[in-house]
Structure 1
Amino acid sequence: MTTLTAPLSEAPLDEGFRPHTSHWGVFSARMKDGELEVRPHAGDPDPNEIIQNFPGALRHRARIAQPMVRRGWLENGPGPDERRGRDEYLPMSWSAVLDKLAGELRRVRDDFGPGAIFGGSYGWSSAGRFHHAQSQVHRFLNTSTGGYVKSVNSYSSGASSVLVPHIIGDYEDLVKRNVSWEQIAEHSEIVLAFGGMALKNSMVTGGGSSKHVERGAMQRAHQRGCDFVLVGPLRGDLPEEAGAEWLSSIPGTDTALMMALVHSLVVAGLHDRDFLERYTVGWPVFERYLLGETDGQPKDAAWAAAITGVPAQAITALARRLHGKRALIVVAHALQRAEHGEQPVWMGMVLAAALGQIGLPGGGYGYALGAIGYYGRRYNAVPMPTLPQGRNAVTDFIPVARISDMLLNPGTSYRYNGQTRTYPEIKLVYWAGGNPFHHHQDLNRLKQAFARLDTLVVHELAWTATARHADIVLPCTMTLEREDIGGNANDPLLVPMRPAIAPYGEARDDYAIFADLAERLGTAQAFTEGRTVRQWLEHLYEPTRAALAEAGLPAPSFAEFQASEGYDMPQQDDDGGRLRAFRTDPTAHPLPTPSGKLEIFSQRIASFGEADCPGHPAWLGATNVPDAASPFVLVANQPRTRLHSQFDFGGHSSGAKHRGREVARMHPEDAEARGITEGDIIRISNERGACLAAVNVTDSIRQGVVQLPTGAWYDPVDPEEDKPLCVHGNPNVLTRDVGTSALAQGCTGQLTTVQVERFDGNLPPIQAYDPPVRRPS
């Protein structure tokens, strides 16, 4: 049954403000006296300040004004080149550059096949449903080159998105149709959050949110008497409104703590035997491991205390607090972005099952709740506009975080989800949307990998590090320079995205670029279907309009919609999804797992024979542990003032830096021992590289831990060195480029070990935003 709502009826926009949306939230914008003004959506109770990056970014010097070609590629032709990342660029007309690019696409396609093309993108480029770079580049490659090698999964959920289908079933159902913020506000009695639910993460949503509700839901729950318990090294990973108790733990040890909690329940006879018997498979196998019968080591509180840094008494007390309460176990994405990242995800489900809470309103397992804005919200009941990408004739793929492995080791084999696969040999990478020199690990290794290509093509609005490594750089428009439809399937507001200003320089929409390329390749009709941008928007909007009409709701025409401030869509009921139905009747509503139940032991995973991901949750320890050379654990988490690296040069992001550097946090005792004081510049290093950062000395971080957010644009002081110093503070010069396990091959960029010292040398200037210098030819 669906809940039907009426169209949005707010006061009309005035004074020239035009509606728009971003991944940070719905807003409106206008140009006044040559300056951009933005203001948040009037109905948003907790707006995201990241929209304030737009004004300073709109006409920033980092913007790319015209097509540029790397000198080495232009003079020597396609081929491997170590100068990528330190070469100069020459301007070229659109006509000339597209002629050259079409010729190169034709060469690679005809000589090596479409399997030699990698279609790179990472779908955060635009909140618009049409001007979505990932959809555009994939549609172009499918219709014009015969397909491409793709990537699967995401950097955020690489381990969990592979594991969850084996042990719980539908990943999307678990995170989007399970426990909602409304349920927490009304029903939860205790929320145990491993890694927290930081608002900087949940304030971001693919397609944008019209209402950021997370802070208010936690506040209402706390005022009602719900207890929030945060487990992790950073006290700020739950908002003050939650009134959370902080259990400071050693990073990467959450699995051990969860096991000790379950052990404490079992030895006290407080686990829910009936739930485990009726709704799960494999509990007896895991219980023997838990009690130490299979390996001689009981996973008790004393054992976990030595691993986690949480006192044994606190662990047993917490287990007793969880028993008999409407308890919700939350495991953050961050935990699975580390070595053996599958294990805390799996063990979180086991803990929730042992408590017997899965499927209850406000209870059970809220995996990744708070990790992104559309988790914990209801689905819309009508389809959202979506650009079809066509059919990819190439079946080959890689896990998204294995791009360096693919480029450096073509033809070698690797394990993934029970398969032995082979890395393809890629000649050309076409990247539109995303910045791998932000979200990938071990950037010096990534630089070496990109040097192996024949050609790297990038669509970009600014001179990111990825653009600086490209051979052909095509300037694309910013979202405020084009018309689109915005929204996401878990927010009711569909937004007409109206342009606020003309494109910068010679920048063009991705669609226009691809349409011209397709014309040169003889595939224009297949790509465009003869439609202009406006005709595509009308075409994509029609299924939504028709569904509204069928539901008996006002169904505005496209022209009426584009002239409005947006329309509220009907939403599905908050019914707990598949897990609620499964709890109600597991026979009538089995889970889509091999057994139809929650799999505490997975025979399928066990059959893969992976030593780093056995058939049930296990404590596997870590290979990257602090030592004399690298005594600190670095937490490289998501930033607060930008989405990933987007608009790092914007005012809101730049204003949070100190002396132009990204700000790291460390504990007062750690800082004092190294002669470091508030505001100093520090050098963070390990065997992979080094970076500079400013320091904030605070007791809100665990001793022995340093935290540096990702997203500062990679800025090597001497790019000709093998391991140049990043003077801006990008932690991915330090992180390890290894998979979570042979099961998922997910990203492990959350944690690594480092050395920290005060930097007393001459401070290099920040050059990350300066366009590459073109010397006279």
Structure 2
Amino acid sequence: MTFRPTTSHWGAFSADIGADGRLQVAADPDDPSPSPLLGNLPDSLRHPTRVTAPAVRRGWLEHGPGPDSSRGNDEFVELGWDEALDLLAAELRRVRDDHGNKAVFGGSYGWASAGRFHHAQSQLRRFLNLFGGFTSSRHTYSNGTSAVVLPHIVGSADDVFRNGSSWPTIVKNTELLVAFGGVPEKNVFVTPGGVSRHHTPGFLARLAERDVDIALISPLRDDFPAAGAVQWYPIRPATDTALMLGLAHTLVVEDLHDRSFLDRYCAGYDEFEQYLLGMEDGVPKDAEWASHITEIPVGEIVSLARKMASSRTFITVTWSLQRIEHGEQPVWTAIALAAMLGQIGLPGGGFGHGYGSMGDSGDIGPDFHVPFLSQGVNPVDEFIPVARIADMLLNPGGCYDFDGAVRTFPDIRLVYWAGGNPFHHHQDLNKLRNAFARPDTVVVHEPYWTATARHADFVLPATTPLEREDFGSGRRDTHLVAMHQVAQPYGQARSDHVILAGLAERLGFGERFTEGRSPRAWLEHLYGSWRKNLAAAGVAAPSFAEFWSSGSYPLPSEEPDRTLFETFRQDPEANRLHTPSGKIEITSAVIKSFGYEDCLGHPAWLEPVEWLGGARAENFPLQLIANQPRTRLHSQLDVGSVSQFGKVAGREAIRIHPADAASRGIEDGDVVRVFNDRGACLAGAVVTSALRPGVVQLPTGAWFDPHGSLCVHGNPNVLTADRPTSRLSQGCAGQLVLVELERFDGTPPPVTVGSPPDVIKR
């Protein structure tokens, strides 16, 4: 066999088709910690859920474009490529001519291919920009809240996400790592664009070898590897901000805070201190107050605060903590707490965000731009925060707040989606189904019959990365990887580029879209331009032919020791932050001026609706954590063997504490019904003491399989609220939801997402 190199969001590997026609994969031999997710590939390449040919929903063919509640339940009719593209080009032209370009929503959000040329979002946005523009989305479901609030606090989100303190610096210098949300090792195998060398598991092991003290603040014990000096604080979910405030109050009253650092490097600390001491509302945010909310004992809070003040302390907050109501607050409060310790900018001290949320957080690879396809410029300035798609479709003309502005939802007539699955990412999927019934036309490029494809009017079969050529590299990746074609396209599948080139030709801008290049010619052109830029910077890269033959190119390395805001600490006047004060804004006059009751001018405890201390918990007494799965990337390749092996009774596995299981008569392996007043799903019970009582954990990403309002496969987003984090960021708040659980007696409905929908061939 001739194994050919390629890469994915979960790692570089090589692959080939065996004599039996089955895909075989092998991890990169130089990867110190290959991802187990590679095991999902062999069973998915030729799976029955692959889309075979262009298909159009029968109702759309018979009645034409328009709102239709039968999306998701209708049959499809297979068409030839020419007929399908002719119909779609005419519909695009109609919507543009009758309603304007802002009536087209370009919904390419998601992970799609690791390849830089066949990056679905770049391809679709390039096409729509040349078409005259479109309504776009901003930020991500993953960290959209932080992306808005961090510039107000420290001047930049990118600095925090991409230039955070490196793992070698942390391992070498940190004495106490306080991990709010932990550092879940399952997540570090994934990075957008690929990971050639997974370094983080090795650094976590070195923390244990050095006996670095770890304070794990999480309802889940396995949110940090078990090895090493880990003290678990099983906090009540959604209350991390209250714990941080209790720690900060202890620092103040025991005079353990660094007043000189606060005076020189921070703005607005005095107002925050007044809040801590209860000068605003008469409620001191002391350890006793925090203990009542978090259920962490008072003595442990005080002891941890003292230990943080006497140690080189690194505070990290996972992205999961900002995917909740008032998600700005744990991020903002953690920065304030780190500032009070006075260690921001010191090696091994300060704060970080996203360690354990993504494989490149703290990684040692270069922050290096690799070849990419230009998207051009969007002539339309209309956009929505990415998590507001259902609100947009359901409320055209409705007003909403966003980062100090009042905006209006556009009237969307055509949704064009490529490279993503909103029926995984979005919350309250029954609401989303209603929203998807509203546009005139929904277009989806998909390799598989996902729920998003089943709710479309046009389903155009897209190739997988193994069925085309590309090159890939992730953020802070160590290599640019040549992605060789390993398999022939399934059925009539075409790449997004080829599909869009066909549409562009029909719409009169084919030459501008392709610039006369084939996909291989594009790869050579993009690589060649990038190589010239490297040469101008004094870096010699091989020719494209040499790169393609060798399979990868090691990117220029950088110094592995890196400390966030080190230069700012050294000279805060010469290296001012991009905030109004040039300093860390513990109180933001700008945010305060917005007058948002759900995001004040300083960090604060704001009680959420979906938490165990609220009134809603009387009816739904379990806090469900809808976190990232360990068996796949989001919903990708849920049909793969690793993902399928993780199911219980054919459903997604839900973890439940023995005490909660016993009180409900639930045993390990039972099918259970998880429900609240938004919907319900079936899942397979796993009884474990690895989470605190009152908490259940059901990962996201099981392919949505609705039977009425019940998802029989275990997608938790039938339960989560489509509620923004706040008026400031309008981010995703889908991490936590209150539910109840009961054993499902009798024969459960079958899981049907492993088979395609009804398709009429003609």
TM over 0.5: yes
Who is 2:115 aligned against?
128
Counterpart Cα distance in 2 of 1:489 and 1:295? 44
Alignment counterpart, residue 724 of structure 2, candidates 728, 736, 739: 739
Q: Map 1:294-373 to 2 at 5 A.
A: 294-373=280-359
Question: How far does the alpha carbon of each residue in 1:13-45 deviate from its partner, in whole angstroms, 9 at most, with x for none?
Answer: xx4011000000111101111111111111111
Q: CA deviation at 1:538?
A: 1.1
State yes or no: 1:107 paired with 2:126: no
Q: CA deviation at 1:101?
A: 0.2
State yes or no: 1:763 paired with 2:748: yes
Who is 2:591 aligned against?
605
Who is 1:32 aligned against?
18
Aligned in 2, Cα 1:467/1:381: closer, same or farther, shift over 3 Å?
Answer: closer
Q: CA deviation at 1:770?
A: 1.1
Who is 1:12 aligned against?
none
Who is 2:416 aligned against?
430
Alignment counterpart, residue 402 of structure 2, candidates 402, 413, 416: 416
The alignment partner of 2:251 has SS state of: helix
Counterpart Cα distance in 2 of 1:776 and 1:197? 49
Alignment counterpart, residue 683 of structure 2, candidates 678, 693, 696: 693
Q: CA deviation at 1:279?
A: 0.5
Counterpart Cα distance in 1 of 2:368 and 2:342? 34
Who is 2:161 aligned against?
175
For structure 1, list consecutive stretches of 5 or more residues without a partner in the other structure: 1-14
Letter of the 2:645 counterpart: G
State yes or no: 1:84 paired with 2:74: no
Q: CA deviation at 1:219?
A: 1.5
The answer to whether the 8 Å contact 2:137/2:385 transfers is yes
Counterpart Cα distance in 1 of 2:331 and 2:367? 29
Alignment counterpart, residue 40 of structure 2, candidates 53, 57, 66: 53
TM-score by length of 1: 0.96
Who is 1:660 aligned against?
650
Who is 1:402 aligned against?
388
Letter of the 2:727 counterpart: A
The answer to whether the 8 Å contact 1:383/1:543 transfers is no
Aligned in 2, Cα 1:382/1:260: closer, same or farther, shift over 3 Å?
Answer: closer
Counterpart Cα distance in 2 of 1:537 and 1:345? 40
Counterpart Cα distance in 1 of 2:760 and 2:447? 22
Q: CA deviation at 1:178?
A: 2.2
The answer to whether the 8 Å contact 1:686/1:734 transfers is yes
The answer to whether the 8 Å contact 1:359/1:576 transfers is no
Q: Map 1:678-689 to 2 at 5 A.
A: 678-689=668-679
State yes or no: 1:570 paired with 2:548: no
Aligned in 2, Cα 1:569/1:547: closer, same or farther, shift over 3 Å?
Answer: farther
Counterpart Cα distance in 2 of 1:508 and 1:467? 16
Letter of the 1:76 counterpart: H
Counterpart Cα distance in 1 of 2:760 and 2:490? 23
Who is 2:478 aligned against?
492
Q: CA deviation at 1:506?
A: 0.2
Who is 1:5 aligned against?
none
Query: Bigger CA drift: 271-280 or 218-227?
Result: 218-227
Counterpart Cα distance in 1 of 2:470 and 2:38? 18
Letter of the 1:86 counterpart: N
Letter of the 2:668 counterpart: E
Counterpart Cα distance in 2 of 1:415 and 1:383? 34
Q: CA deviation at 1:776?
A: 8.4
The answer to whether the 8 Å contact 1:255/1:619 transfers is yes
Q: Map 1:557-636 to 2 at 5 A.
A: 557-574=543-560, 576=562, 579-626=565-612, 627-636=617-626
The answer to whether the 8 Å contact 1:177/1:379 transfers is no
The alignment partner of 1:365 has SS state of: strand
Counterpart Cα distance in 1 of 2:228 and 2:45? 36
The answer to whether the 8 Å contact 2:479/2:555 transfers is yes
The answer to whether the 8 Å contact 1:382/1:548 transfers is no
Question: How far does the alpha carbon of each residue in 1:93-122 deviate from its partner, in whole angstroms, 9 at most, with x for none?
Answer: 000000000000000011111000000012
The answer to whether the 8 Å contact 1:118/1:428 transfers is yes
The alignment partner of 1:562 has SS state of: helix
Counterpart Cα distance in 1 of 2:181 and 2:415? 35
Aligned in 2, Cα 1:382/1:764: closer, same or farther, shift over 3 Å?
Answer: closer
Who is 2:663 aligned against?
673
The answer to whether the 8 Å contact 2:355/2:362 transfers is yes
Counterpart Cα distance in 1 of 2:268 and 2:368? 39
Counterpart Cα distance in 2 of 1:381 and 1:543? 19
Alignment counterpart, residue 68 of structure 1, candidates 55, 78, 81: 55
Q: CA deviation at 1:199?
A: 1.4
The answer to whether the 8 Å contact 1:383/1:547 transfers is no
Who is 1:140 aligned against?
127
Q: CA deviation at 1:392?
A: 0.2
The answer to whether the 8 Å contact 1:178/1:359 transfers is no
Q: CA deviation at 1:573?
A: 3.0
Who is 2:702 aligned against?
712
Counterpart Cα distance in 2 of 1:159 and 1:372? 16
The answer to whether the 8 Å contact 2:676/2:719 transfers is yes
The answer to whether the 8 Å contact 1:149/1:396 transfers is yes
Q: CA deviation at 1:662?
A: 0.3
State yes or no: 1:774 paired with 2:759: yes
The alignment partner of 1:159 has SS state of: helix
Aligned in 2, Cα 1:65/1:251: closer, same or farther, shift over 3 Å?
Answer: same
Alignment counterpart, residue 218 of structure 1, candidates 204, 224, 235: 204
The total of aligned residue pairs comes to 757
State yes or no: 1:239 paired with 2:229: no
The answer to whether the 8 Å contact 1:124/1:433 transfers is yes
TM-score by length of 2: 0.98
Who is 1:3 aligned against?
none
* CA RMSD, 1 decimal: 1.3
Counterpart Cα distance in 1 of 2:664 and 2:425? 30
Alignment counterpart, residue 44 of structure 1, candidates 4, 8, 31: 31
The answer to whether the 8 Å contact 2:651/2:714 transfers is yes
Q: CA deviation at 1:775?
A: 5.9
The answer to whether the 8 Å contact 1:641/1:652 transfers is yes
Aligned in 2, Cα 1:594/1:378: closer, same or farther, shift over 3 Å?
Answer: farther
Question: How far does the alpha carbon of each residue in 1:272-314 deviate from its partner, in whole angstroms, 9 at most, with x for none?
Answer: 1111111000010000100111110110010000100100100
Letter of the 1:650 counterpart: G
Counterpart Cα distance in 1 of 2:42 and 2:522? 29
Counterpart Cα distance in 1 of 2:534 and 2:96? 43
Identity across aligned pairs (percent)?
55
Counterpart Cα distance in 2 of 1:380 and 1:596? 27
Letter of the 1:134 counterpart: Q
For structure 2, list consecutive stretches of 5 or more residues without a partner in the other structure: none
The alignment partner of 2:550 has SS state of: coil
Alignment counterpart, residue 437 of structure 2, candidates 451, 460, 466: 451
Q: Map 1:143-154 to 2 at 5 A.
A: 143-144=130-131, 146-154=132-140
State yes or no: 1:726 paired with 2:716: no
Who is 1:7 aligned against?
none
Counterpart Cα distance in 1 of 2:505 and 2:673? 51
State yes or no: 1:555 paired with 2:545: no
Q: CA deviation at 1:203?
A: 1.1
Query: Bigger CA drift: 683-692 or 192-201?
Result: 192-201
Counterpart Cα distance in 2 of 1:398 and 1:138? 15
Counterpart Cα distance in 2 of 1:576 and 1:31? 42
Question: How far does the alpha carbon of each residue in 1:172-195 deviate from its partner, in whole angstroms, 9 at most, with x for none?
Answer: 111221211111221111100000
Counterpart Cα distance in 2 of 1:676 and 1:703? 14
Aligned in 2, Cα 1:242/1:440: closer, same or farther, shift over 3 Å?
Answer: farther
Query: Bigger CA drift: 453-462 or 525-534?
Result: 525-534
Counterpart Cα distance in 1 of 2:318 and 2:254? 28
The alignment partner of 2:618 has SS state of: coil
Q: CA deviation at 1:535?
A: 1.2
State yes or no: 1:502 paired with 2:502: no
Counterpart Cα distance in 1 of 2:55 and 2:375? 27
